[in-house]
Each structure stands twice: as structure tokens, then as C-alpha cells.
Amino acid sequence: MTDTITYREALREGLRDALKSDGRVFMMGEDIGRYGGCFGVSLGLLEEFGPDRIRDTPLSESAFVGAGIGAALGGLRPIVEIMTVNFSLLALDQILNNAATLLHMSGGRLNVPLVIRMTTGAGRQLAAQHSHSLEGWYAHIPGLKVLAPATIEDARGMLQTALLDPDPVLLFEHGALYNVSGELDPAAGAVDIDRAAVRRSGTDVTITAYGGTLRTALAAAAELATEGIDAEVIDLRTLRPLDEATILGSVTRTHRLVVVDEGWRSGSLSAEIAARVAEKALTELDAPIERVCTAEVPIPYAKQLEEAALPQVSDITAAVTRAVG
């Protein structure tokens, strides 16, 4: 028996499970208590668990991320919410210079079991200070694990797995997915975060995507199927460490690769994937690697300009058509 649930509700159920199962778990962030979270993910949790477990913080990302690091060092299991990935840059010193480095700098003595959740991505007309996809930046940093749940099941289960990790984990939730609904087994629990997932099998071309771009890639694959092109779609799921083996295995079968990434093209996650495939499977490729990325501009506010800047189904099908020839 499965229930219909939204991505937002699945995240909330994951948070509720974590709070119920482990007394060390607590949440902190801006407006997560009385307001229920900027995107409504934590709605109702304050009433259920109280202000000691659901803590509203001042508007200072550096301060409350730093407090989360301290709590993790002290033996708790904090879940810190940052409203959007753009605002996380205000806490970059804490994330990069403290959370990611303390294990190394302490000679393996100081783990930081911290989970940081944040909304990423565009498509909602929130303009340039609320809409960028910077998860590729964080995937550049050793000492962090970077997750991007694209499905209802992963939204529910990735948090549970992340809380078991002794080191910092960043969870990027694409804002355009919050209202997406799907089926979920009420007994669903932790999921494997070490491996990418083949969401659609195919033989002609490999398409890699993650987070908010997965649905776009799957829609493109469905459209391509009507033209006789059989695309395999891989959901990366974890951006650091990348599941290189699944990507290379797929490319070895299809001999073509299209990388979809909502980040900017220059210095991007798409560039990293393309480089690794070129380094380790160049002779398997029958066509140049194609990349479909966001236009290299601040995300526009106007709806038609925002859509023009972001990877669309038509951009992916055109890239695949070029690759397949």
C-alpha cells in the first residue's frame, strides 16, 4: 500500500522520523519554527517537538551554522536549514574552513556530524539572489558529502542516511520540486546515498541529471523515444563523491554522453563529469560529449527570460540529436 505525498511532505516526514528516533537530533534555522519554514517543510514540527528541538535563529547564517558545528562537536545531531543556497555563501567560512576541515586538522579526532539543508535552483521567478544552483561549488570541497534528492523516496530517505554519517552532509532541495507529488511506501526508510540510480534504461545515449533537472531529462527521453532514440537517464543523487562507476558503465554501453546541469557551464559539475569520462572512457565515445547548462547570466526575474536561461526539454533533445547524429 502506497500513499500519495508531495516532495515537501516527504522531507517533513524524514525530519519527523529523525526527531522521533534520536533525542540528539534538533533543527535550527531562520523561520523554521512558528512560520513553518520559508518553503513550509518544517510546518507543524514546532508544535509537535517544542522550541528546544525546533529552534528559530537570528538572521545570521554564519552564526547559526557555526552553532550547528559546535553542537555536532558536542555530541548532538543538528539539522541546520539555510533558506536558499545563495544565502549559504554568508556561512561559507564556517562550512569550508571549519565543518569540512576539522577532521583533517585534528588528525582524525574531531568528527562533525552536521546536516545542512538548503533550497537550490530556479524556475519560480525569485530572481538572482534566490535562484542559483551552487551545489557544484560545494561538490568541489573535500570533507563534505553533497546530496541532491530528485525523487519522493530520496527526499524522505536521504536525511536518515545523512544523519548516520560522522561527517558533514549538505542536502540540496530543488525549490521547483516541493509541490511535486508521487507514491511512497509509508514504511520507506533510509536510502543508499553512495550510488547513482538509472531512472530509465536505454541503449543509444546516456543522459546524466540530478535534482530538479531529472524530471526535465526524463521528459526529454520520453520525447526522444517517439523519434526512435533510446536514452538512458542517470540520476546522480550524490554529487560528492560522484558515483563514477555507474556513469562510466552506462557510457560504455551507449557510447554517447549528454550532461545536464542547472549550474553555469564554466567550472561546473558538468565539466567535472565530462572530464572524468574523457579521462577514463574516451575510446568508448562515438561522439563528442554534450553539456546542457544554465546560461551564464544571473537568473532573470521575468518568466520568459528565466525559462530561456534554464535547461529545457528542447535543449536536451537537441544535444542528444547532435550526439546521436
Let me know if 111 is exposed, middle or buried by CB neighbors in 10 A (0-12, 13-18, 19+).
Answer: middle
Q: Answer whether residue 104 shows pLDDT above 70.
A: yes
Indicate the angle between helix axes 313-324 and 213-225, nearest 10 degrees.
50
Tens of pLDDT along 136-171?
999 999 999 999 999 999 999 999 999 999 999 999
What pLDDT, on a 0 to 100 scale, did the predictor assign at position 42?
Answer: 96
Q: Across the strands, what pairs with 206?
A: 232, 257
State the Cα–Cα distance between residues 180 and 219, nearest whole angstrom: 15
> Does 9 qualify as catalytic in the annotation?
no
Q: Which domains does the chain have, with CATH numbers?
A: 3-184 (3.40.50.970), 197-324 (3.40.50.920)
Among candidate residues 216, 184, 220, the one with its CA nearest the CA of residue 205: 220
For the beta carbon of residue 244, count every other beta carbon within 10 angstroms: 15
Instruction: Please pick, among 9, 81, 130, 290, the residue that the annotation labels catalytic.
Output: 130
Instruction: Please pick, among 9, 13, 30, 61, the residue that the annotation labels catalytic.
Output: 61
Pull the grid cell for residue 16.
Answer: 519527523
Mean pLDDT lowest for which of 15-19, 126-130, 254-258?
126-130
Instruction: Quickly state the pLDDT bin for 187 (edges 50, 70, 90).
Output: confident
**Mean pLDDT over the full length of the chain:** 96
Instruction: Quickly state the pLDDT bin for 1 (edges 50, 70, 90).
Output: low
* Core vs surface per residue 206-235: b (16+ CB within 10 A) or e: bbbbbbbbbbbbbebbebbeeeebebbbbb
State the Cα–Cα distance between residues 266 and 128, nearest whole angstrom: 18
Among candidate residues 35, 65, 237, the one with its CA nearest the CA of residue 151: 237
State the Cα–Cα distance between residues 222 and 253, nearest whole angstrom: 19
What pLDDT, on a 0 to 100 scale, did the predictor assign at position 76?
Answer: 98
State the Cα–Cα distance between residues 123 and 71, nearest whole angstrom: 35
* Percent of the chain at pLDDT exceeding 70: 100
State the Cα–Cα distance between residues 221 and 217, nearest whole angstrom: 6
Strand 3-6 vs strand 54-56: parallel, antiparallel, or unpaired?
unpaired
pLDDT higher for 189 or 138? Answer: 138
With a CB cutoff of 8 Å and minimum separation 6, the contacts of 239 are: 135, 136, 138, 139, 146, 147, 148, 172, 210, 269
What pLDDT, on a 0 to 100 scale, did the predictor assign at position 2?
Answer: 77
Q: Answer whether residue 196 shows pLDDT above 70.
A: yes
Mean pLDDT score, 15-32? 96
Mean pLDDT score, 301-310? 96
Mean pLDDT score, 17-31? 96
For the beta carbon of residue 269, count every other beta carbon within 10 angstroms: 27
What pLDDT, on a 0 to 100 scale, did the predictor assign at position 186?
Answer: 80
Q: Across the strands, what pairs with 166?
A: none
> Does 61 qualify as catalytic in the annotation?
yes
Mean pLDDT score, 302-321? 97
Say how many Å lie between the first and final Cα of the chain, rounded: 44
